[in-house]
Amino acid sequence: DMEDRNHTEEKDERAEEQARKAKEARKSVSRRMIIYMVITLSFFLSLVGTGTSGHFTVRSWIDSFIISTSVSMLMGFVIPVRYIVEKVCAKYDLQEGDLNTRLVESLIVDLLFTPLMTFLMILYAYVVATMNGAKLMPLITMYLSSLLSCFPVGFILIFLLMPLFRKFILSHTDIGE
């Protein structure tokens, strides 16, 4: 009887340890996904934003990239993106990996990040340009114009890259797919 109880306790401890390790592995995957996605999206959206501004310089792109990466990284670690995506997908009975699920997931991530990042990039460019004496169109016009190009680019990048990054990260992790 005592031996059975000890054996059961050992099994419970092993199960708890496995659950803890799995949770840590999922957190690690999530953190790496945030880092990969933020750097990639910031890189390309900064290129699109500064490229479509009509005033592209390497310096403006680098500044935009640094600001975008910094703020997006902070947002990525604060906003429970995975939780939001899972709740929305569960509400609409969407299955992981399906095309519709990927479309919804990409739209949610794009809605959470791209409008704010675009606004911050435009605000930064606007402030720098006006401090240097440039006469610009109204901030809202600049923002909406930039968002019109950045939002679809962000969506496409998220749609294409998220599964690739997830697959790459999971292939280098113990939890598999």
Over the stretch 120-140, which tens digit does the pLDDT of each residue have? 888 988 898 899 888 888 999
C-alpha span between 102 and 115 (Å, rounded): 20
- pLDDT above 70 for 177: no
Average pLDDT, the chain: 89
Per-residue pLDDT, 58? 92
Which band of pLDDT confidence, cut at 50, 70 and 90, is reported for residue 71? very high
83 CA to centre of own chain: 13
User: CB–CB of 103/159 below 8 Å?
Assistant: yes
Q: What is the mean pLDDT of residues 80-101?
A: 92
Q: What is the mean pLDDT of residues 21-26?
A: 84
- Model pTM? 0.83
User: CB–CB of 155/110 below 8 Å?
Assistant: yes
